[in-house]
Amino acid sequence: MRIAMVNDCAYVGETILKYLPEDIEKTHIKRSRGVWSKTFGIAYKIWKAKADVYHVHYLLQDCYLANVFGKKPLIGHAHGSDIKTTINRFALGRIVRSNLKKCDKILVSTPDLIEIARQYRKDADYLPNPVDTQLFYPKPPRRKKGKLKVLVAGGSNWAIKGTNIAVQAMAEVKGEIEVSIIAYGKDLEKTLALAKSLGLEMQILPIVSHEKLNKYFWNADLVMDQFKAGVFGLISLEAIACGRPAITYLSSKYEAYKDLPHRDINTVEQITETIENLSPKLWEAEYNYLKQNHTPEKIANKVMEIYQQVA
């Protein structure tokens, strides 16, 4: 079987390809954000591709082009903004809605997206994001000397990730923690300014490749992610895989999270209380969830079943 993976999101496609059986012929068609690359460049690559199954990430122009060029069977993989916000725009929204209807199979990457997708495709399925456990694996907790080391790892974005809520909460316990933040996200400067106004010192860490992100996790005691979406982001999952607890907002309305002990944490008071009462049981519960739902071998097996069905 020949698989053509088009585009990617947070290395989900790359990880899936990595863990597919060795006898599968794999092609990963990538693009940059450059004008040529994301228009005529990607169009030519998709048109030229020959495969038994086409798997496209994001229900935007790449997926639309694959439909126009008659690349079948076609799997459209939604990752968030495409069917949460872009779908409501005039021009791009028409593209997203068209892709939802015309793909042979629709997958979504987090539980909050399935309800939206099924408004257009009753057969849409939730596929948990795989975590590359060859890159992200547990190491013993560092020997604690002094303050609790907290890493703000998700990109700074107040509207989508609620980074400001995390900063306000950490400022409440600033005497007990040492905070680092990875320098990316559209609201990074606002986040740093907020922290300074609250007297919270933050060490700024440079952006590193995906392969080196594990070192940031291993050097922390606790990872802070997002407090808006109500679902696990890959940052949290990769931190957990590295042996570190993650504090993030998980909505209790999603069945997938019913056994986790820290659901519905999305206020300053709740986050502060969780930091102050951090227990090893938090990571143990998160890691058990990870092993049951996000190991790359399990996800690759599910994907192979889907490929065989559509092919």
Write a three-state SS string for 223-288.
EECCCCCCCCCHHHHHHHHCCCCEECCCCCCCHHHCCCCCCCCCCHHHHHHHHHCCCHHHHHHHHH
> Is the per-residue pLDDT at 299 higher than 80?
yes
97 found inside a domain: yes
Amino acid at 21: P
Query: Looking at residues 118-145, what average pLDDT do you find?
Result: 93
Whichever domain contains 30, its CATH number is 3.40.50.2000
Q: Let me know if residue 175 belongs to a domain.
A: yes
Query: Same structural domain for residues 171 and 91?
Result: no
Given a cut of 90, whether residue 259 has pLDDT beyond it is: no
Q: Beta strand pairing status for 25-29 and 53-57?
A: unpaired
33 and 120 part of one domain: yes
Give mean pLDDT, residues 167-195: 96
Same domain, 160 and 280: yes
Same domain, 115 and 167: no
| Within a domain: 142 | no
Q: How confident is the model at residue 261 (pLDDT cuts 50, 70, 90)?
A: confident
Q: CA-to-CA distance for 57 and 177, rounded, in angstroms?
A: 38
Domain that holds residue 79: 2-130+295-310
- Which amino acid does the sequence have at 261? P
Would you place residue 39 in the very low, low, confident or very high pLDDT band (cuts 50, 70, 90)? confident
The answer on pLDDT for 38 being more than 90 is: no
Q: Is residue 136 part of a domain?
A: no
Q: How confident is the model at residue 31 (pLDDT cuts 50, 70, 90)?
A: confident
pLDDT of res. 66 = 97
Residue 216 pLDDT: 98
**Total residue length of the chain:** 311
Question: Do residues 208 and 92 share a domain?
Answer: no
User: Could you tell me if residue 140 is inside a domain?
Assistant: no
Contact 108, 238 (CB under 8 A): no
Please determine, for residue 37, whether its predicted confidence score (pLDDT) is greater than 80. no
Domain membership flag for residue 272: yes
pTM over 0.85: yes
Pair (109, 205) in one structural domain: no
| Residue 63: inside a domain | yes
Note whether 157 and 111 are same-domain residues: no
CA gap 202, 187 in Å, rounded:
15
Residue 220 has pLDDT above 90, yes or no: yes
SS3 310: helix
Average pLDDT, the chain: 95
Flag whether pLDDT at 145 surpasses 80: no
| Number of structural domains in the chain | 2
Question: Is residue 141 a part of any domain in this protein?
Answer: no
